Chain A
Amino acid sequence: MLEINGLKVAVAGKVILEDINLVINDGEAHVLFGPNGSGKSTLLGAIAGFSRYQILDGEIIFKGVDITHKPVHERALLGVGLMFQRPPTIKGLSMRDMVRICAQGHEFPEELPQRLNFTDFMHREVNHGFSGGELKRSELLQLMAQDPDLVLLDEPESGVDIENIALIGESINQLLDRDGLNDKAVCPRRKREMRRKSGLVITHTGHILNYVYPDVGHVLFNGRLSCMGNPRELFGCIQKIGYGECVRCSQTCS
């Protein structure tokens, strides 16, 4: 699905990411851990193609296409979708129209806003005056309409209250085609094998791991991918000894 080779990214002339190598196969969900300022959002922004992230070296291959220098919307149309951590307000544009834009002419299930408790917001201006949790639901609704093959999630749990985090987790699983595990009609193993949706999730607190079970975890530290492994194990280790120790350990071991 996604292959990143030797990526070097700068913001306003300052190098933030260096020598990033990452492969996300079809159907895989990866999680990215890292302290504040380590470059997690920069990596997602570079994959999405935003202009403030200058690619100095390396390449990003998505579904076999080199998208390293493609404009943002071409990546979106190819199947890259990003859940923004702090999305801007679009004045005068209703959520309903925004969702229509996201659906890109495809059919959009009418009951989706209801499932996200969002029907009352559909006439509101996009993200205008939304609370933290409302912003997340707005983003998830847009992504569900967009239905990307690669879902990039930038701190999906930040600013979400306890009551809503399960709903957010459930929606993410749906986006990643990981929902319906209780559905007896489909054998979970078969469902896993057939799964095509991939994801890359940034988490700071790790709370989302109680709801979403990624396959691979990475630690981003000082602009480099420093460790890779089982997500829950990695997270447990980080909680116990901190990022610094975790990275030191991976350096001595390799």
Chain B
Amino acid sequence: MSDKKVLPQSFKKESPRRAYLDSLERLDILDRNRLVQTGIEFSGTDRSGTFMQMDDSIVHCGVEQPGVEVLSTEEAVSRYDWLADYYWKSVSPEADEYTAYAREYSRHGYFIRALPGVKASYPVQASLYLAENGFAQAVHNIVIVEEGAELNIITGCASGHAVRTGMHLGISEFYIKKNAKLTFTMIHNWGEDMYVHPRSGMVVEEGGVFLSNFVCMHPVHELKMNPLTRLTGPGALVRSNSILVAQPGVKMDVGSRVWLEAPNTKAEIIARALTTGGDILNRGHLRGDAAGIKAHLECHGLILSPEGLIHAIPELEARVAGAEMSHEAAVGKIAQEEIEYLMARGLSEEEATSTIVRGFLNVKMDGLPAELQAEIDRAVKQNQDSIM
């Protein structure tokens, strides 16, 4: 990770205006090819709502389910005065050069909200797409799941086929109210010379549940993120699963931080990191501030090539008695014993290796609806085919 820091100022601030589409099916086939692996459903069937931003333009924004709102964050800010209580409240604009740039230059981003008690039957999908080569896309996303509501969000972030380089800066602030539940699945599909800097902060109130799934298996020059989830109410829960694959030239610095601030809150952070030649720095930091909390951190890394690096940094910080915190990190190559076990059943060495890798990446994400799990499985499968 010794590369010189590349700032958003090195990229273009302007992008051409993109036309609004009445359906994502009207997207160019080349763009659709880039998005198909991110879980985006172009027809919008089996979705409660759809948001898509290309560079700085909203190309589609619609909602099917009553009680669910999908807007551009800019529009939401002008519509709702109360949004001032959420905007830049869980991510600080002073955090670093990237957040500072986003405060100045961010355009749109999605605002998704489920009204109190509303249980969205289908996921809302959101796509942030970088189409203009050399552009720095900065967005500000806000998700609010009101008391007792349940929401499923799939976000697919990708860069276009013609994009050689560029930057994506995403500020995300999620608020999960009392007894609400958010399942958030993010799949990335960037280009080899892309710089990606999500900055996220989540707040989960009493009895709230936040399930987060993140998949990034395609080349990206640099991906750096370390979202912070604060469990502020008793009994709040966060469970996070990440699947990271680094091909040669890729540098990922991906972490997860959770502050367990209230009694009986629970956190479980699971990461699977696999390198075929790239570098993965996998951080995890759990902080226990209240009695009766339970937190577990798990990072498993697999190194498939002589080059490449996996550096796991699990941290536990207990600040009170009665905090129950643990971590498990294991990094290595595939055990010869496992390969030969499968070979003894008739698989060739290559087939055995790919079966083990597929299993390694096959993380069953708890609490995920079957159809969403199937989509993640499909994305992992498609991505795996391209790396093996």
Contact = CB atoms under 8 A, between A and B. Distances in A.
A2 interface: no
Given A51-B336, A90-B341, A90-B342, A73 B360 contact: no
Given A90-B356, A93-B359, A146 B345 contact: yes
B37 to A, nearest CB: 20
Q: Say whether chain B's binding surface is mostly helix, strand, loop, or mixed.
A: helix
Interface stretch (B52-60, B257-265, B346-354): B346-354
B337 A88 contact: yes
A7 interface: no
Interface residues of B, number: 23
B335 interface: yes
The dominant DSSP class at the A interface is mixed
Residue with the highest number of chain B CB atoms closer than 10 Å, among A73, A77, A104: A73
Interface residues of A, number: 25
Interface string B328-345: 000000011110111111
A20 to B, nearest CB: 20
A88 B335 contact: yes
Contacts of B336: 51-52
B361 interface: yes
Nearest to B364: A92
Contacts, number: 66
A73 B347 contact: yes
A76 B338 contact: no
B362 interface: yes
A90 B343 CA distance: 13
A87 interface: yes
A52 B337 CA distance: 9
A184 interface: no
Contacts of A101: 342, 345-347, 355
B355 A93 contact: yes
Interface string A40-84: 000000001011100000000000000000011100110001101
B355 A72 contact: no
A71 B349 contact: yes
Interface string A93-105: 1000010011010
B349 A73 contact: yes
A164 B163 CA distance: 62
Given A93-B355, A93-B359, A101-B355, A88 B345 contact: no
Given A73-B346, A104-B346, A146-B346, A88 B341 contact: yes
Contacts of B345: 76, 98, 101-102, 142, 146
A50 B344 CA distance: 9
A190 interface: no
B360 A91 contact: yes
B362 A92 contact: yes
Contact of A90 (B338, B348, B349): B338
Contacts of B347: 73, 101
Contacts of A72: 340, 343-344
Nearest to A143: B345
B360 A50 contact: no
B363 interface: yes
A81 B349 CA distance: 17
B361 A48 contact: no
Nearest to B335: A88
Contacts of A102: 345-346
A48 B344 contact: yes
B358 interface: yes
A178 B297 CA distance: 50
A90 B359 contact: yes
Given A73-B349, A93-B355, A82 B361 contact: no
B344 A76 contact: yes
Contact of A92 (B335, B337, B358): B358
A76 B341 contact: no
Contacts of A84: 341, 344
Given A51-B336, A73-B349, A92 B344 contact: no
B344, B359, B362 interface centre (most CB from chain A within 10 Å): B344
B368 to A, nearest CB: 15
Given A90-B356, A90-B359, A93-B355, A73 B335 contact: no
B321 to A, nearest CB: 31
10 contacts: A73-B343, A76-B343, A76-B345, A81-B344, A91-B362, A92-B359, A92-B363, A101-B345, A101-B347, A104-B346
Given A76-B343, A88-B337, A90-B359, 11 more contacts: A51-B336, A73-B344, A73-B347, A84-B344, A87-B341, A88-B335, A91-B360, A92-B358, A92-B360, A98-B345, A101-B347
Interface of A: 48, 50-52, 71-73, 76-77, 81-82, 84, 87-88, 90-93, 98, 101-102, 104, 125, 142, 146
Closest 5 pairs (CB-CB, A-B)? A92-B359, A92-B362, A72-B343, A93-B359, A73-B343
